[in-house]
Amino acid sequence: MFFKKLIKIIATILILAAITYAILIYTGILPSPLAIFKPHKPKVEISATFLKEVKNMSQLLTVCHYDEITVDSIENKKGSILNIFDKQRKLVLIVRGKTFAGFDLSKINEKSLLVTDTSVQLTIQHPTIIDVVVNPSTVETFIEKGTWSVYARTTLLQTAQNKLTHRAVAAGILSRSEKEGQRVFTQFFKSLGYKNVSVLIQ
Amino acid sequence: MKQRFYLKLIASIIVLLLNGCQQPKQEEASSLNQVLKIKELSDLASVEFTVTKIIKATDDSTWYKIGDRKILMSCDAKIKAGISLADLTEKDITINGSNISLILPPAKILYVNIPPESVAEQYAEIDFLRSEFSIAEKNAFLQVAEKDVNNTINELGILTAAEKNTKTIIESWLNIAGFKNININFKK
């Protein structure tokens, strides 16, 4: 009899405690048991913008190649009794990048721009890859197993930049850039009134 | 019989507490379905500003987590600005002998580039009971910095500098082309 009563009292206390706990979780006063172990969104503060360098330039950007690739880094952990089930450290990133090609026009001078009454001849250097833009907003972490440093991220993104450059070159970005450069300059000088415009790329 | 009922009830409540109080996962819309392509440009880049950002992230807002978890990162952003020559039409050019007047399109931001090698972890303090910051978290912090750079671009005066340099570049070409009086303005 006493035992039955005791169980009833304990059960009632437990139920009341559970209901109270559930209400506290629901109202946000207490965290849920799993939330304790979940990562919380950290508070991020960004400093004011410090101007570090101002660079004057003269570049004609003629082509932008958009691409998406994946890069990964996999390392096998050294034998440890703790690593029996998880022997690999793995980082897989999905990277969307923009590759810009164009011309460096800083060397245009009197020798490279020959002008007569109705004709103009411009000599410029071959186009090059100017920038491969891989920004944080276009990088997605697909798999991350183990701890990785910022340096590892940098190395992986530099690999991504090389891959994006090769793919852009294979897609013909430089030849497209050359044609576009010729078109842009021809149009520019024709609008200045020159009838014969010749753009030489050396 | 009643004992079993109470035991089942308690077990059910515990299971509900463990599983039911989680926030539903928000699935981020995948942006992988973007069309890959080559785009032709006619952009004359005349200036590049390099700015530095310091990112401070702290994860100590939850009272029930013991120990500090904070990180200090830095990154550079290169902002390129110039004009689009494609927007220059014959209507914008007036030639009278050796005099020329041009109305160029207004300067614009061409792109912002955060080079991976400019990202550095300056300082991190992770206590024994806390986990390291993941690459995904660090990337999320950098995304906040990138957004901040984009929001504060206009305060840097880069467009004024771009117009000034563009004017110098075009003037030098027109000088070589033989024009004596050159008047360059920008569309508003």
Domain ranges of chain B: 40-186
A10 in any annotated domain: no
Quick one: pLDDT at residue B31? Answer: 42
Give pLDDT tens digits for A140-179.
999 999 889 999 999 999 999 999 999 999 999 999 999 9
A46 in any annotated domain: no
A155 in any annotated domain: yes
Residue A167 in contact with residue A91, Cβ under 8 Å? no
Q: Could you say which of B18, B53, B65 has the minimum Cβ distance to residue A49?
A: B53
Q: Could you say which of A47, A98, A184 has the minimum Cβ distance to residue B85?
A: A184
Mean pLDDT in chain B? 83
Range of the domain at A127: 54-77+88-201
A43 in any annotated domain: no
Res B96 pLDDT > 80:
yes
Grade residue A69 by pLDDT with cuts at 50, 70 and 90.
very high
How close does chain A come to B105, measured CA to CA in Å?
A: 13
How close does chain B come to A134, measured CA to CA in Å?
A: 7
Q: If contacts are CB pairs under 8 Å, which of residues 32-61 in chain B contact chain A?
A: 32, 34-59, 61
Whether residue B134 and residue A7 make contact (CB cut-off 8 A), yes or no, is no
Number of domains into which chain A is organized: 1
A185 in any annotated domain: yes
A151 in any annotated domain: yes
Specify whether the backbone of B156 is left (phi greater than 0), alpha (psi in -120 to 50) or beta: alpha
Q: What percentage of residues in chain B have a pLDDT greater than 70?
A: 78
Mean pLDDT in chain A? 88
Give pLDDT tens digits for A87-126.
788 999 999 999 999 999 988 888 888 888 788 999 999 9
Whether residue A47 and residue B155 make contact (CB cut-off 8 A), yes or no, is no
Quick one: pLDDT at residue A98? Answer: 96
Grade residue B101 by pLDDT with cuts at 50, 70 and 90.
very high
Of the listed ranges A53-62, A186-195, B35-44, B62-71, the one predicted with least confidence = B62-71
Angle between helices A2-26 and B2-20 (to 10 degrees): 20
Res B43 pLDDT > 90:
yes
Residue B120 Cα distances to B55, B80, B138, B185, angstroms: 10, 22, 10, 42
Whether residue A18 and residue B13 make contact (CB cut-off 8 A), yes or no, is yes
SS (H, E, C) B104-138: ECCCEEEEEECCHHHCEEEEEEECCCCCCCCHHHH
Whether residue B121 and residue A149 make contact (CB cut-off 8 A), yes or no, is yes
User: Which residue in the block uniquely carries the two structure tokens 């440890």?
Assistant: A80
Question: What are residue A180's phi and psi, to 5 degrees?
Answer: -65, -40
Mean pLDDT, rounded, for A12-40: 81
Whether residue A57 and residue B147 make contact (CB cut-off 8 A), yes or no, is no
